[in-house]
Amino acid sequence: MSGLGQVIRKITTDDYDAVAALLASAFGRQDEADLVRRLWAEHATKFERVSEISGVIVGYCAFSPVTSKPDLDGLLLGLGPLAVAPEHQNQGIGSELVHTGLKICRDNNARLIAVLGDPKYYARFGFEPASKRKMTWAGFDAGDAFRVITRDDDDLDVEDIRVIHYHPAFDSVS
């Protein structure tokens, strides 16, 4: 629990409607809510956490499996979506969700965690430009917005560029 009276916990199926509403509100459109519903339907999330204050869900963070070509062994994850209710943004809720999620990923020996998002925001968590690790996102050239964290002891150097693929459910999000 943070100083905000926030509790971060595992999601339950009873939370699905509230999370979908939160996603639609936070992003101002339905696409991310539809994405997460597809991920749930396909059991394609590995770790999910919600943040609640006084019993109301105000934040959500998901990690789902990603793949790479050439192949990488081990647990490879993509962070997203991350959302905080508009009236609760800029209070540290998203940061707490990311920190909690990254700890869970590390505790489960994730080899790679990828994210597509604001480079300045995600740099504070240790995400570096994927291009530094000769990686790119299969969706399009996202530049420094496509970022990764790898294990400290991991040598991922390859001659060819490694292409990271998110779950197919992400393909329909614009």
| pLDDT per residue as tens digits for the range 40-55 | 999 999 999 999 999 9
Q: What pLDDT score was predicted for residue 3? A: 54
Give 94 or 152, the one with higher predicted confidence.
94
Residue type, 114: A
pTM tops 0.85, yes or no: yes
Residue type, 138: A
Q: What pLDDT score was predicted for residue 161? A: 83
On whether the 6-172 domain is CATH 3.40.630.30, my answer is yes
Comparing C-alpha atoms, which of 29, 31, 105 is closest to residue 61?
Answer: 105
Contact indicator for 51, 8 with CB cutoff of 8 Å: yes
Comparing C-alpha atoms, which of 72, 49, 62 is closest to residue 130?
Answer: 72
| Whether residue 2 has pLDDT greater than 60 | no
**Which range is least confidently modeled, 7-11, 114-118, 134-138, 152-156?**
152-156
| Whether residue 170 has pLDDT greater than 80 | yes
Domain boundaries, the chain: 6-172
Give the pLDDT band (50/70/90) at residue 36.
very high
d(CA 83, CA 93): 9
